[in-house]
Amino acid sequence: MTKRIAEVSSGRMARSAGGLWLIVIAAGMFAIMSTSALIVRNDAAATATNILANESLFRFSVVADLVAGLCYVGVTVLLYEL
């Protein structure tokens, strides 16, 4: 009986790790794409203007980057426990 509980638990942890990994991928892609749309290479003034004009997009990209980082820590913990 104990073996069955351990199998279910490890399967649930594996699915949770997979779900968190998908969140890492989606949030990371959003953060990279939205930030790269705001940055103008070799022109700090234009970059600052873009960030000020699209402040909410920049904030969402920062939040997405933080979510991706936190979910990555969760994936690491879950895979370590497996």
The confidence score (pLDDT) of residue 4 equals 64
Question: Apex CA 46: angle with CA 43 and CA 52, to 5°?
Answer: 140
pTM above 0.75, yes or no: yes
Structural domain including 27 reads 2-81
Residue of 70 and 10 predicted with greater confidence: 70
Q: What is the largest CA-CA distance in the chain?
A: 65
- Which pLDDT tens digit goes with each residue over 10-69? 888 899 999 999 999 999 999 999 999 999 999 999 999 999 999 999 999 999 999 999
The confidence score (pLDDT) of residue 42 equals 94
Total residue count of the chain as it appears in this document: 82
- Which pLDDT tens digit goes with each residue over 6-19? 665 888 889 999 99
| Domain count along the chain | 1
